[in-house]
Amino acid sequence: MESDNVLDEVSFALEEGKRVVPVLLEVCEIPFRLRRLQYADFTEHHKKGIQTLIQTLNLDTEAALKLNDFVDQGIERSNREEINKAIEIKRTVESQKSPILKNKAADEIQSKSKETATLRPNNNEQKPAKSKALKKIFLGLFVVIILASAAWFGRFFIEDEDTKWFDDTLQRNTVQDFEFYISRFPEGKYIKRARDSVFAKTSREKKIKEQERIEKEEQAWNKAVTADNIEGFQNYISNYPNGTHIVEAREKINKFSDNIENVRLDDLAWKAAVTASTVNAYLDYYTNPAVLGSHREEALQKANEIGQKGWLYCGRFSGEMMTESIFDLIWRGEDFSAKDILKTKDIVMLKTNESTRRTYRNANNRNANNANNTLIEKNKKMYVLAVEKEGNALIVQIIY
């Protein structure tokens, strides 16, 4: 390498911390300053040299392809120049041959002499070849420096673009913008912050949406409870099939469904009592446990309107128990036993072994002149209006 200017440029690049990769195109004496550097050897095969350049410079795919094309073009030109040079030497040798050869031996000697001269160029011919090789080396170095600088400035530009994009993303501050930044700069220097922002915002949005859903569900449930009908609870189940009140809503619907059937049965029983229009029919409705009894008070009123009222002796008692009685106690508005002393509002029936009885218009006068004309009958329900005690005897007033 004979050019001092080129050596100065190499020294300056090394002092500035620039990466310098020598390119050896032909075998020559390598300057001392470059011997310690890793160089790309193109003397054996240019592909091997290209790979050394790519690995040393950490070039990306696009830059590596461009360098490959550049070297292929340079080698092609070099090969073409060598072929042209050989042809020119051959023509020179042929022009120097004598047109008249004295003998075959002289020709052979002269031919060998010229071939030897061609194959062994003198020092003056070697010097231009060496200079040409050095030019190729420095041309390669120049190309490498240009590519390295381009790669460095390219990274600087990308970093600036990365920062600009992230600053803009922070300004907009939405999940979509952070996700777009991540897709645009998957290896960006702000990639962790972007992912953390996406996670935080997504979690916060999920919490807000869940809270809104809970509030709406509670509003729907309160609306169903206020309406207190099948339709309201069915609407809640339809809108919130996995809601927190789903079990309770179904229980409400089942209860309403049962009530609908009970209401139907209750109506049928009441209509039957009204159709019969007897004390016994109204008291049958009054004591029926299978119906809702929504007309119970009305049933007592009807029985009182159409029934006969009278007093009669019903038996004896001791304490709170009946020792003998003409009636069977069949209904009371609370728990009872068959031997309990009779009370007002009890429902009774004449025992089957008892004969029909007359009643009296008042409790203190139970003679024939004070008797009612209507007899009490077996298997008919009677309502106890009043109870009086005479010693251990029990006198009751009934509707029958």
Rounded mean pLDDT for each run of 10 residues along the chain, 400 residues in total:
68 74 77 71 73 68 56 55 61 54 47 47 52 64 60 51 91 91 91 92 87 92 89 90 91 83 90 96 94 91 95 94 96 93 96 88 81 88 96 95
Q: How far apart are CA 148 and CA 60, in angstroms?
A: 11
Contact between 57 and 145 under an 8 Å Cβ cutoff? The reply is no
Determine the pLDDT at residue 61: 54
The long-range contacts involving 179-187, CB below 8 angstroms and separated by at least 24 positions, are: none
C-alpha R_g of the chain:
61
> What secondary structure does DSSP assign to 292-357, as a single string?
--TTHHHHHHHHHHHS-EEEEEEEEEETTEEEEESEEEEE-SS---TTBPP-TT-EEEE-TTSPPE
Determine the pLDDT at residue 102: 42
Dihedral pair phi/psi, residue 350, rounded to 5°: -65, 135
Give the contacts of 250 (CB within 8 A, at least 6 positions apart): 233, 237
Contact between 357 and 326 under an 8 Å Cβ cutoff? The reply is yes
Nearest alpha carbon to residue 222 among 350, 319, 214? 214
* DSSP label at residue 393: E
Determine the pLDDT at residue 111: 54
Contact between 387 and 342 under an 8 Å Cβ cutoff? The reply is yes
Determine the pLDDT at residue 117: 43
**Angle, CA of 22, 28 and 31, to the nearest 5°:** 55
pTM for the model stands at 0.41
